[in-house]
Amino acid sequence: MTYSGFYAHFEKIAMKQVRSLSFRNHQDIPDGDYAFMPMYCDDKTCDCRRAIIAVLQVSPEFRVGQVATISYGWEAMSFYRKWSHGMPEDMLKIFKGPALDYMNIQSPHAEALLESFITTALDAVYIERLKKQYAMFKHKQGMKMTPELLKLVGIYEPCPCGSGKVFNLCCGKKKFSERFGRRR
C-alpha cells in the first residue's frame, strides 16, 4: 500500500487542522515543535480505516525532518480481522489504535513522541477529524463509499477550508475527467 499526505490533496484544510506539540526540556524529546501530518491509503479499493501519521520536527532551528511514523486505526479489532482476510493476530495489532509503524524507520525519540501523541494529542476531537479526513480523502479518490463513510464526508456541508462553498463544490470537487471518465 502507498500513502499520500492529506495536505497534498487538501492543503487549505490541512493547514487549518494540523495537530502539533511543542516540547521544552523534555527528558526524551529534543526541544522543538512537532507537527502530526496524517496520510491515507492511495488504493481506492482499500477501506482500511486508518491513518499513517508522519511526525515532523518543524522548528525553525532544525531542518524539517520526519522523526516518527505512527499508525492509527480507529475501528474495532473485529473490523480489522474481517478487512485483513486472515492476517495473523500479532500483525493485526498495528492496525488497531496508535502504534509506531514498523514499515518506517523511527528516530531514537519515536517511542517518547508516540507516548506524547497518545496522552496529549489523541483526543475525541482529533479522532473524529481523522475519520472525516479519511472519508474526504477516499471520496476525492472516487472510492465506492459506504453510507457510514459518505455521511462523514459531508459533501453538502460547508467546506472546512472556510470558502463558504459546500465541500463537494470546493475542496471535494473532482476533476472533470474523474467525474465523467476520460473522453477521447
CB 68 within 8 A of CB 113: yes
At 78, which amino acid appears?
A: S
CB atoms inside a 10 Å sphere around CB 96? 19
For cell 500479532, the residue is 90
Report pTM: 0.88
At 100, which amino acid appears?
A: L
Q: Tell me which residue of 105, 123, 133 sits closest to 21, measured CA to CA.
A: 123
Report pLDDT digits (tens) over 54-103.
Answer: 999 987 776 678 899 999 999 999 999 999 888 888 888 788 889 999 88
Which residues, in sequence order, are CB contacts of 72 under 8 Å at separation 6+?
50, 51, 52, 53, 97, 98, 99, 122, 130
* Torsion-angle region of 172 (φ positive above 0: left; ψ -120 to 50: alpha; else: beta): alpha
C-alpha cell at 101: 509503524
CB 73 within 8 A of CB 99: no
- Structural domain of 86: 3-180
Longest Cα–Cα distance in the chain: 61
Helices within 22-181 (DSSP H only): 77-84, 89-92, 110-116, 124-141, 147-153, 176-180
pLDDT lower than 50: segments of the chain: 176-177, 179, 183-184
Number of domains in the chain: 1
